[in-house]
Amino acid sequence: DIQMTQSPSSLSASVGDRVTITCQASQDINNFLNWYQQKPGKAPKLLIYDASNLETGVPSRFSGSGSGTDFTFTISSLQPEDIATYYCQQYDNLPLTFGGGTKVEIK
Amino acid sequence: EVQLVQSGAEVKKPGESLKISCKGFGYSFTFYWIGWVRQMPGKGLEWMGIIYPGDSDTRYNPSFQGQVTISADKSISTAYLQWSSLKASDTAIYYCARTEFDRYTFDIWGQGTMVSVSS
| Chain-chain contact of A87 with B45 (C-beta, under 8 angstroms) | yes
Interface of B with A in 67-86 (CB under 8 A): none
Name the average pLDDT for chain B.
97
As a whole number of angstroms, the distance between CA B97 and CA B79 comes to 10
Q: Is A102 on the interface with B (CB under 8 A)?
A: no
Tell me if chain B has a CB within 8 Å of the CB of A68: no
**Using CB atoms, which residue from B61, B104, B109 is nearest to A43?**
B109
Instruction: Please give the sequence-ordered ranges of beta strands (E in DSSP) within chain B, or none if there are none.
Output: 3-6, 10-12, 18-25, 33-39, 45-52, 57-60, 69-73, 78-83, 92-99, 108-109, 113-117
Beta pairing partners, B12: B117
Give the up-direction half-sphere exposure of residue A98: CA atoms within 13 A in the CB hemisphere.
24
Dump pLDDT digits (tens) for A77-89: 999 999 999 999 9
The model's pLDDT over A18-50, given as tens digits with 9 standing for 90+, comes to 999 999 999 999 999 999 999 999 999 999 999
The verdict on a CB contact (< 8 Å) between B44 and A49 is no
Interface membership of A95 toward B (CB under 8 Å) = yes
Mean pLDDT score, A91-95:
96
Report how far Cα A18 is from the mean position of its chain's Cα atoms: 14
If we measure between CA atoms, which residue out of A42, A47, A93, A40 comes closest to residue A73? Answer: A47
The amino acid sitting at A45 is K
First to last CA, chain A: 36
Residue of A nearest to B95 (CA): A43
Q: How many residues does chain A have?
A: 107
**According to the model, what pLDDT value does residue B102 have?**
79
Query: What is the rounded CA–CA span in Å between residue B64 and residue B70?
Result: 10
Q: Are A15 and A79 in contact (CB under 8 A)?
A: yes
Amino acid code (one letter) for B7? S
Q: Give the span between the Cα atoms of B24 and B93, in whole angstroms.
A: 19
pLDDT per position in chain B (119 positions), as tens? 999 999 999 999 999 999 999 999 999 999 999 999 999 999 999 999 999 999 999 999 999 999 999 999 999 999 999 999 999 999 999 999 999 987 899 999 999 999 999 99
